[in-house]
Amino acid sequence: MTIQCIFSFSIIVLIIVLFLSVSLKASSVPLNPENIDPEIQDNNFSICLDTTSPTKYYDEFLNLQYSCIHSLWNKLKRNPNQFLLLYPLIISVCGNENEVKNIQVDQYPGKEKSYWGVSPKCEEQHVFVTLGIGNDSEAIRLMKKKFRSLSSYGTSAYGSKHEDYDHFYNYAIGINGTGLQTVYGTNGEIMELKDVSVSSFFKNIIKQNIIDMLWINIDGGEFEYWSYFSKKGQFEKLGITVCQFNLEVDRNDGNNFSKLSSNLFESETYIFLRAEIKANRETVYAYFLNIRHPYCIQKYLR
């Protein structure tokens, strides 16, 4: 057995021991369509007028969580695919600070995959964007019942209009947006679609400075998602704040996910809240929450 294999095995054992030695983080609350009142919390909503919420409180547990995750990432960064596959376990180990556990995270289960989100504490317009709509619409339907005044935008390179979205774009989202892109449909047919860059899509089509929830899926097109969340990255250059985002990552995309993690450590804007890996171990799902921007704090954490 090589030294590298022994080292990797030791890290895995360490994570498992840590996992077993601490109480697990608070589980997400799966939402049932039959139990969601369309007027949920109607009397508890207020307008998000105060956007000067202090961030000092959140700095404390952000630093605690980052030190835990960063130390394990630092040990595994030479094998990023292994870090990705162990990431859900790492989140369980490093998510035990009381402040983190006390954040109520709802789960939006679909037939194919689940998403997570923290419900708003005040009434404002909620902007929701999906890059890569799949065939499963259960999660978005649940979200529309939970979030009031939701304005939803979605893209897909395949299929017809998705009725569950207020604004649907049959676009292939790419890095540069070259105009047209040839793609293969679900039945193998060849299609030519409008190819739009991510920056152009948000700047010229969405035209919103605050994105409450962003879902990034594999079939949303190839783009450097990790660079958008970096310090002075693409979203910052565009003047866009994302309060929450869910990310779908292929098991072989560990290198790029490691880049994202590194960028998040540097920016100190998001906490790593939830993650899971499918039984076939082909896809990892991760959820992140912005605890730095005053608007996001006031709307989701106050």
Domains of the chain, with CATH numbers?
26-31+51-300 (3.40.50)
pLDDT of residue 39: 40
pLDDT of residue 201: 92
pLDDT of residue 110: 81
In terms of Cα–Cα distance, which of 104, 103, 108 is closest to 146?
108
Question: Beta partners for 285?
Answer: 248, 276
Q: Residue ranges of the chain with pLDDT lower than 70?
A: 1-58, 61, 96-99, 159-161, 175-193, 218-222
Instruction: Please state, in angstroms and rounded to a whole number, the distance separating the CA atoms of residues 86 and 83.
Output: 5
In terms of Cα–Cα distance, which of 61, 83, 115 is closest to 270?
61
CA distances from 142 to 38, 150, 179, 232, 242 (A): 10, 12, 34, 34, 20
pTM value? 0.81
Instruction: Please state, in angstroms and rounded to a whole number, the distance separating the CA atoms of residues 12 and 19.
Output: 11
- What is the distance, to the nearest Å, from the Cα of residue 41 to the centroid of all Cα atoms in its chain? 25
pLDDT of residue 107: 92
> Beta 171-174 vs 190-197: how paired, if at all?
parallel
Identity of the residue numbered 131: L
Instruction: Please state, in angstroms and rounded to a whole number, the distance separating the CA atoms of residues 215 and 211.
Output: 10
CB 244 within 8 A of CB 270: no
Instruction: Please state, in angstroms and rounded to a whole number, the distance separating the CA atoms of residues 60 and 58.
Output: 5
